[in-house]
Amino acid sequence: MESHDLLREVFKETSPKQIAEDMGLSLSLIYKWSQAPGKDSSGTTNPLDRMASLIESTEDLRLIQWLCRKKNGFFVASPENEKVISQNLMPATNLIVQEFADLLSVVACAATDNHVNEAESARIRKRWEKLKTVTETFVHCCENGNFAKIQEEAKVVAHSKSI
């Protein structure tokens, strides 16, 4: 589904006039967001497309993680779908258990003084985001019988353990 199509669907349930008022924008601009941009249309690039372009340009997932947290949610990156099949389940299982242990270690260190400061909170968040992604990769590999991807992830994790 294209972003302008999604916005058109949203506008069926939420008044474009109310959106324009809430955002301090013109009603015509709000309607243009729900039209395809291009030569043959009067549509314009909407905020969804701009956000997608920003994330693609920076390759920084903190942008989408921030957006998800604004609505009390979270983002978990989906692993790439690879068709390579491997039977190396034990290393994959060990990786997910190690990631969870690493998170618990960061939490335990932060809580030793019965207070979690901002820096400690940031470290916990970073480990938590990593665990969610590794877990999603594990589940995806289980569903597809592909554990080679997890072994690649283990090499990246081992390299980035400087948290």
Same domain, 61 and 116: no
If asked whether residues 103 and 137 sit together in one domain, one would say yes
- Give domain status of residue 83, yes or no: no
pLDDT at residue number 159: 64
Q: Total structural domains in the chain?
A: 2
* Whether residue 95 is found in the same domain as residue 50: no
pLDDT score at 86: 41
In tens digits, what is the pLDDT along the chain, a chain of 163 residues? Answer: 999 999 999 999 999 999 999 999 999 999 999 998 877 777 889 999 999 999 999 999 889 989 999 999 888 776 654 333 344 677 778 888 998 999 999 999 999 999 999 999 999 988 988 888 888 877 877 787 776 666 666 666 666 655 5
Same domain, 96 and 52: no
Residue 79 within a domain: no
Does the predicted model carry a pTM greater than 0.75? no
Residue 7 in any domain: the answer is: yes
The tokens of 57 are what? 């340009």
pLDDT value of residue 79: 60
- Does 12 fall in a domain? yes
pLDDT at 149: 62
Residues 59 and 94 in one domain: no
C-alpha distances out from residue 106 to 44, 100, 124, Å: 46, 10, 6
Domain-embedded: residue 81: no
Residue span of the structural domain in which 41 resides: 3-70
Please tell me the predicted confidence (pLDDT) of residue 85: 31
Residues 47 and 104 in one domain: no
Position 9 in a domain: yes
Long-range contacts of 95-102 (CB under 8 A, 24+ apart): 95/134, 95/138, 95/150, 95/153, 95/154, 95/157, 96/134, 96/135, 96/138, 98/157, 99/127, 99/130, 99/131, 99/134, 99/135, 99/157, 100/131, 102/127, 102/131, 102/161
